[in-house]
Chain A
Amino acid sequence: MGLEETRRLQLSKHADLKTRAEGDILVLPERAMRIGGSGGEILRLVIEGGSVGSILETMRDRYPDSADLESEVGVYLEEMLENGALVQLDVDEEPRSAS
């Protein structure tokens, strides 16, 4: 995984995560998309704060039998960074409080 476990992420101020009966929806400036699998769960852990490592730890606790969990979570976080849904915080930066 390319992301260091000490790195902290947050939902971009330009993105929204919406919960609907049919599942989670990620809303970005140019579009909205349904989030499959545990994507919404991972994004909520990002919103709650904590490092990449702590997100991985929580997911490991929840899904102890998933063999590729670390790589899948890592790939997903990188994909979300790539599409602008997530941003990396600087080492000393405080997460933006939810509005």
Chain B
Amino acid sequence: MAVEKAWTDRRIENTVGNLLRAGVSISAAVVLCGGIIYLVRHGLAPADYRIFHGEPSDLRSIRGIVWGAVHRRGRALIQLGLLLLIATPVARVAFSIVGFAEERDRMYVAFTVFVLAILVFSLVGSS
């Protein structure tokens, strides 16, 4: 029993490792593409981050970001890459639910669902 449990843990950890690596690589690639488009178009504009304005609403919502990225807007593409990056640990948590469920560990399924709920609330929650 103990051996079998350890084996499942190892298998989960391997898959999680691959998932994390893929998430980071894909998001870095998307950010890079968006960055090139952004710099080609706006590279000569002055850069000023002294005063905080907050981002426009289309770079703050998942919907707005996806719309902008589809229309190949540089800043929206970067933001999509960052969104994929934020989603990577979220996907890791979601995947762990499956792992704990396979081990029939109800307590940890509950803990993991709770953590996932916090993460989802943070991304799409009210306000």
Report whether chain A binds chain B: no
